[in-house]
Amino acid sequence: MGTILELRDVKRYFGIRSGGWVGGGVEKPLKAVDGASFSIASGSSFGVAGESGSGKSTMGKLILRLDRPTGGAIEFEGRDIGKLDAQGDAWYRTRVQAVFQDASGSLDPRMRISAIVAEPLEIHARTGPNRLTKIEIREKVEDMLAQVALPERVMHDFPHELSGGQKQRVAIARAMILEPTMLVLDEPVSALDVSIRAQVLNLLSDFQDRYGLTYLMISHDLATLGHVSSQLAVMYLGRIVEIGDTEEIYERPLHPYTKALFRAMPLPDPDRVKSAPSLRGEIGSALDLPKGCRFCPRCDEAMPVCSAVDPELVDVGAGRQVACHLIGGPQLTKATHQRGSN
Ligand code: SF4
Ligand code: MG
């Protein structure tokens, strides 16, 4: 499997003035995403976990080109998406589509379902080389609604006439109508009843099998990501703190934050991470980052070195990377030394 998407040291800083209104005060950067690097294999599912405020949705927006990075580069199918011209932008929009948490918010309430699903085709077919007739568009919409297991009659309905699960199926149909190669799924099932979640996740996994789609799924819910993703990145205050094979992270989480997230899961596996600390306190602000390790104020395993030195993401073997002074070669030596001398 080749690489479809690669992020290299991607940053998104926002300039926020503190201590005054426009024109006054001091400008401080809000580091929403602070140096994310990873690659996603074509046809695989990549999960991004973290609490709200971790920067995971901002990262999703950067990948979707709804926002621009202030540093680093994002390559999709070998092309730098920061350097696309209008034609390149149209190409990208057919290749990469999105499904968000709140289908009600992303579906125009004044449009009928058939028009909502057809809209991307109408926009792109107008400019693209493969112009479609009205009849062809209608056939495609009917076919796509069947693929997401919605009855044909919903074509004439408005979004408010559908259930939450049905609306999310419409959002998926709309995302799939241009036959993209990748979907960015930002909390795609979080707003749904637990009983409906599995159905929507199964639908997504069927699509992946059928079309060899690549998924980037963002969620605060490790259980969802565990079902769907083969690779997992855990984010905390703008940083990736642990990344690797999902199964291996589930078996043996290494970063104290990852361990705490597992402990905070509603139905923790009693055999898993027995001695891990639970997750206490709030995530804090990306505007006022703690010195040293960003997780330090909440970490039960913190050592003196932690509040002084920001741990780097280091390779710990088997494709896993962790940013923690407890783990890894030279940093461990430094941490042990400092702990010993205090
Ligand atoms: Fe905890 Fe220190 Fe590791 Fe940060 S570097 S997660 S504070 S042990
Ligand atoms: Mg979010």
What distance in angstroms lies between residue 323's CA and the mean position of ligand 1's atoms? 8
The answer on pLDDT for 259 being more than 80 is yes
Over residues 207-220, mean pLDDT: 96
Ligand 1 touching residue 292 (CB < 6 A): no
Over residues 295-323, mean pLDDT: 95
The H or E element that residue 208 is part of is: helix 194-211
DSSP character for 62? H
Alpha-carbon distance of 263 to 276, in angstroms, equals 7
Please give the share of the chain, as a percent, with pLDDT higher than 70: 87
Which residues 6+ apart lie within 8 Å of 257 measured at CB? 234, 236, 241, 242, 279, 295, 298, 299
CA of 295, closest atom in ligand 1: 4
Ligand 1 touching residue 326 (CB < 6 A): yes
Alpha-carbon distance of 7 to 10, in angstroms, equals 6
Q: In Å, how far from its chain's centre is CA 9?
A: 16
pLDDT of residue 82: 96
Ligand 1 touching residue 75 (CB < 6 A): no
Ligand nearest to the CA of 60: 2
Task: With a threshold of 0.85, tell me whether the complex ipTM lies above it.
Answer: yes
**Closest C-alpha to ligand 1, atom 3:** 324
Q: Do 246 and 225 form a contact (C-beta atoms < 8 A)?
A: yes
Ligand nearest to the CA of 324: 1
Q: Could you read off the pLDDT of 81-115 as tens digits, one per residue?
A: 999 999 999 999 999 999 999 877 789 999 999 99
pLDDT of residue 22: 55
Which residues place a Cβ less than 5 A from the ion ligand 2?
57
Q: Could you read off the pLDDT of 7-46 as tens digits, one per residue?
A: 999 999 998 766 655 556 667 889 999 999 999 999 999 9
Q: What is the pTM (predicted TM-score) of this model?
A: 0.89
CA of 311, closest atom in ligand 1: 5
Over residues 258-273, mean pLDDT: 70
Ligand 1 touching residue 305 (CB < 6 A): no
The answer on pLDDT for 331 being more than 80 is no
DSSP character for 81? G
Residues 38-47 as b or e (16 or more Cβ within 10 Å = b): bebeebbbbb
Q: Could you tell me which of 151, 147, 119 has the C-alpha nearest to residue 132?
A: 119
Sheet hosting strand 26-41, strand order edge to edge: 26-41, 3-18, 71-76, 79-80
pLDDT band at 126 (very low <50, low <70, confident <90, very high): low
